[in-house]
Structure 1
Amino acid sequence: MNTQFKKGVLELLVLVLLDRKDCYGYEMVDEISKNISISEGTIYPLLKRLKKEKMVSSYLKESQDGPPRKYYKITDLGKEKKEELVAEWDEFAIGVNNLVHDKLMDNLGDIKDE
């Protein structure tokens, strides 16, 4: 998948996941990777920025599998941003799908006319 597509939607995906539940970094990578291939290194700079912008906060939680893990939690500001991004995504996806499928239908019409 195109890297620019992923980069543009990653913030939305992280905020959506954190709105569902608090997560640690690798857990987010694992969840997102079920649908879109991403590397672990792409998420941490984003989390750092979101924390700086006060859209997420973090805390340490003991782990049964090793050292404590840093969990991220969405803030009220992050929830507002998530809602804004979801609305933008919905509008964008509808526009893209309309163009893609209209073009597909035009191509099918051209084939039938031949």
Structure 2
Amino acid sequence: MGNQMTELLKGTLEGIVLAILAEQSAYGYEITAQLRERGFSDIAEGTVYALLVRIEQKGLVEVEKVPSEKGPPRKVYSLNDQGRRQLAEFWTTWSALAQRIEELRAAADDDSTNPGRN
């Protein structure tokens, strides 16, 4: 992904991870794998783990330590009520922003096909 995509993802990654957790509980590596399967292949694992710490501190998830076959217990993250409210707010904000951007794009497309309008 290009630099512009990376910058856009910085502001939306929390919402994207909350959306993944709304589907099912998961631990860090599973979340990273889900992101990659969905086309977010340039997101570093460290970025995801740092984000998980932040959303845990914000109280958006419940965390359960589950024994692992290899190594220390895994932290499994589940979306809680506060996290669901945050996700709903994210989708509302995303929809409003996407609509405004689409309107700008349509206006720019219209201007490029009708150069005499200006």
TM-score interval, normalised by the smaller of the two chains: 0.7 to 0.9
- The alignment status of 1:46 with 2:43, answered yes or no, reads no
Detail structure 1 runs of 4+ shifted over 3 Å in the superposition: none
SS of structure 1 residue aligned to 2:95: helix
What's the counterpart of residue 80 of structure 1? 85
Consecutive unaligned residues of structure 2, counting only runs of 5 or more, are none
Q: Deviation per CA, 1:37-95, whole angstroms, max 9, x where unpaired?
A: 2111111111111111110121122345x233221111110111110111000100111
Consecutive unaligned residues of structure 1, counting only runs of 5 or more, are none
TM-score by length of 2: 0.83
Structural RMSD (CA)? 1.9
Question: Quick one: percent identity of the two aligned structures?
Answer: 30
What's the counterpart of residue 7 of structure 1? 10
SS of structure 1 residue aligned to 2:43: coil
SS of structure 2 residue aligned to 1:102: helix
- The alignment status of 1:17 with 2:15, answered yes or no, reads no
User: Which residue identity lines up with residue 11 of structure 2 in the other structure?
Assistant: G
C-alpha change, 1:101 and 1:35, in structure 2 (3 Å) is farther
